[in-house]
Amino acid sequence: MHDLQNLTQENMFNHAVQLRNMDVGVSSMEQMAGQMVRYLYKNLTLPDGNSACALVRFFKTHPYQELPEDLQESAQGILKGREIHNATKCLTLVATAGDNSQWNSRKLSVGHKAIPLVDEDSVARIPMISQLISQFGVSVENVIKPDPEIILNLGKRTFNVFYIPEAMNSPYIPAQEEFVIPYQIKSVLGIGGMLLSGNIFTIILFSKIEIPFHVTHLFKWVAMYAKIATNSVEGDKNLFDKSPSPALSGSSNYQSTIANNTISTSNTKLQTSNTKLQTSRFQTINQSKVDISTIDFQNADLKGINLRNANLEGADLRGVNLKGANLEGTDLRGINLQGANLQGVNLQSVNFQGANLQGANLQGANLQGAIMPDGTIYQE
């Protein structure tokens, strides 16, 4: 636990690594998001050790047609009879933690469960959401109708922040009389951004103390690793516990692309020893999440390959040549990279926890923000 007003870079490194690993062993986005909001609520404190946040919430955009019936009704209630198309993105409450007992269950929470983002005019009438999207550096149009051609460019933003230093009387923070004043909300901080699917996610902290401006910049690590973990879970898990998986039910072309391009290697081990792989087969999957953790790449030549955000956990890459490859955000927990050639490889934000890097050539590699085998975050 750390004092929110006096956070250090080392503190935030530790918190970021904790959030990065919350995709492990979860059965749904809700389960992972719940761990995140509870962790932040508990570990960002006042000087006396009590939580500095009155409320912490995790939201993600999701198509209206894939929401449970109760959330569809919630979205309809906001529009008061206006038609909602099936593909309409709804900013959906996935998890919540807070001082009030009903704030610890998304089902018991009142209001803001599913906010339909119908068009730019309707979003403009919700100041907090409009400002959040704007401060994230994403246009409302791209949130409502994500364009696959620009998703990767927007996804490269690693530090997206929504910051309201003074919540009292702010036009961007609603429910002043019902929430801000009685719960003495001083500042609001949101982190998040655009996922590989084109959806956006955000974690919003409603703080009981003023959050200094310099502290907000330390949250870039939390934003970065929360996004990597969320990308890892989205599409592979249900949105909510015990609900039908939405992964293959989406109608958008982009979701179809993800479904068609994901490589399945369940119960399979591809032997590639002393073989030069054709990188063309991998070039179409740079927007999807790839699980090739069972493949044995020992001594293979993967020069120039793009495995951004792939899962290689437990794979054997002894002696592999990855010179010039892009492995940004890749999960390399427990991987064997003994003697591998990683010269010039983009290893930004890669998770090396428990990996074997003995004898690996890291000359010229980009390790910015990578989680090293001992759990520390690499800093130049």
Q: Any idea what DSSP says for residue 245?
A: -
Which 3 state secondary structure label does DSSP give 231?
helix
> Tens digits of per-residue pLDDT, 266-281?
332 333 333 333 333 3
Digit-coded pLDDT (tens) for 346-364: 887 788 888 888 888 888 8
CA–CA gap between residue 313 and residue 296 (Å, rounded): 11
Q: Which amino acid belongs to residue 130?
A: S
Q: pLDDT of 283-342, one tens digit each?
A: 333 334 444 444 555 556 665 666 666 666 666 777 777 777 777 777 777 787 888 888
* Domains present along the chain, CATH in parentheses: 2-253 (3.30.450.40), 262-380 (2.160.20.80)
Q: How many residues does the chain have?
A: 380
CB 172, CB 127: distance < 8 Å: yes
**What tokens appear for 25 in the block?**
């062993």
pLDDT digits (tens, 9 = 90+) for 107-160: 888 778 999 998 888 788 787 888 887 777 777 777 877 665 555 455 555 457
**Phi (first) and psi of residue 97, to 5 degrees:** -150, 140
Q: What global pTM score does this model have? A: 0.72
Q: Which DSSP letter does residue 64 get?
A: G
